[in-house]
């Protein structure tokens, strides 16, 4: 299998897209370390996957991130793949969002990727065997949403950080890419739809493939980027959004159309 013998750390893998990524990496041969702040869900996911361990981490805390990387290296002998997936969204209008909320959302979505990326990359450089890092961004980095100043800023930062890491680590044989998912059927999106049911119809009308992504459809792209099949790909952002960003503004959208 393509990822046989590799150790992969996946943040936010207790549920949602992260759990799907972890499952896919295990299916391709990797041993996965599930990093999450949710202990019960994280343990359950690791148990379900089999070739996986769980480690409780708040990815916005440098001390916890460092300890998790050190423990993984000590117990499993190394880390060859990192997927920076943990994230939280915010939904407060620009004029209302507080400094505290802004900083928390940036810390969990962006600073965490710097902390974990740096800690794992330092280990990879020391080992001298290269590696692959995949950072999870969002289509929200590519178009304004009035209620997501913090989230969009953080995800825009994720894409810039990805390019910097790719350039800084290329000579070490470490590839760094990002995946920007469109709306994906996970608990995070279910929460949004519960607050605003009309959002679902509106979103579908602007997605040419006329459905949300399934977490598996992101996981397969992440697994590709982490594998040797992507050996000449670094510093890129793959937008996986069912065609949403390809839609020109002159194309009429049908707000009444349902899911395909
Ligand atoms: P989710 O809310 O279903 O899962 C996120 C996971 O991250 C949870 O297990 C949560 O406990 C964990 N987490 C959150 N904060 C953490 C922290 N401080 N430390 C450790 N773990 C933490 O979210 P979903 O939808 O699976 O999103 C995964 C990634 O994909 C996020 O980065 C998100 O921004 C991104 N994304 C999701 C989209 C969607 O439509 N679901 C669209 C675009 C991007």
Contact predicate 4/31, CB 8 Å: no
The contacts of residue 40 (CB under 8 Å, 6+ apart) are none
Q: Other C-beta atoms within 10 Å of 40: how many?
A: 10
Q: Using one digit for the tens of pLDDT, what is the confidence trace for 24-41?
A: 999 999 999 999 999 999
- Ligand 1: atom nearest CA of 137 is 44
As a whole number, the mean pLDDT across the chain is 95
Q: Which of 87, 151, 186, 239 is catalytic?
A: 151
> Using CA atoms, how far apart are residues 180 and 162, in angstroms rounded to an integer?
12
pLDDT at residue 8 in the model: 98
Give the Å distance between the CA of 171 and the centre of ligand 1. Answer: 31
Establish whether residue 157 lines the binding site of ligand 1, counting it when its CB lies within 6 angstroms of any ligand atom. no
Q: Are strands 131-136 and 31-36 parallel, antiparallel or unpaired?
A: unpaired
Contact predicate 53/22, CB 8 Å: no
Q: Using one digit for the tens of pLDDT, what is the confidence trace for 186-226?
A: 877 888 788 888 888 888 899 999 999 999 999 999 999 99
Q: Using one digit for the tens of pLDDT, what is the confidence trace for 86-142?
A: 999 988 999 999 999 999 999 999 999 999 999 999 999 999 999 999 999 999 999
Q: Identify the H or E element spanning 180.
A: strand 174-181
Nearest to 12 by CA among 54, 64, 47: 54
pLDDT at residue 258 in the model: 66
pLDDT at 260 over 90: no
Distance of CA 145 to the CA centre of its chain: 19
* Helices and strands in the chain: count of H runs, count of E runs: 9, 7
Global pTM reads 0.97
pLDDT at 229 over 90: yes
Structure token pair of residue 172: 């070490």
Q: How confident is the model at residue 257 (pLDDT cuts 50, 70, 90)?
A: low
Best residue among 14, 17, 103 to mutate for probing ligand 1's pocket (most ligand atoms within 8 Å of CB) is 17
> Using CA atoms, how far apart are residues 105 and 154, in angstroms rounded to an integer?
7
174-181, strands of its sheet edge to edge:
52-56, 31-36, 7-11, 81-84, 131-136, 174-181, 237-240
Contact predicate 240/213, CB 8 Å: yes
């Amino acid at each position: 299998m393509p990822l046989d013998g590799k150790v992969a750390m996946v943040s936010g893998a207790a549920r949602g897209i992260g759990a799907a990524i972890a499952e896919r990496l295990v299916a391709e041969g990797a041993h996965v370390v599930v990093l999450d702040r949710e202990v019960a869900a994280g343990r359950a996911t690791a148990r379900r996957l089999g070739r996986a361990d769980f480690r409780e981490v708040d990815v916005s805390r440098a001390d916890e991130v460092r300890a998790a990387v050190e423990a993984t290296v000590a117990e499993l002998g190394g880390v060859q793949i990192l997927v920076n997936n943990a994230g939280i969204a915010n939904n407060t209008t620009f004029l209302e969002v507080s400094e505290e909320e802004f900083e928390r959302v940036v810390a969990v979505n962006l600073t965490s990727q710097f902390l974990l990326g740096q800690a794992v990359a330092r280990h990879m450089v020391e080992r001298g065997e290269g590696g692959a890092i995949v950072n999870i961004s969002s289509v929200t980095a590519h178009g304004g949403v009035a209620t997501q100043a913090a989230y969009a800023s953080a995800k825009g930062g994720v894409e810039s950080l990805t390019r910097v890491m790719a350039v800084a680590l290329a000579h070490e044989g470490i590839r760094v890419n990002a995946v920007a998912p469109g709306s994906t059927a996970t608990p995070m999106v279910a929460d949004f739809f519960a607050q605003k049911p009309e959002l679902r119809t509106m979103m579908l009308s602007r997605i040419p493939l006329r459905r949300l992504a399934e977490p598996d459809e992101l996981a397969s792209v992440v697994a590709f980027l982490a594998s040797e099949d992507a050996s000449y790909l670094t510093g890129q952002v793959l937008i996986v959004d069912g065609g949403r960003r390809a839609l020109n503004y002159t194309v009429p959208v049908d707000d009444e159309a349902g899911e395909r």
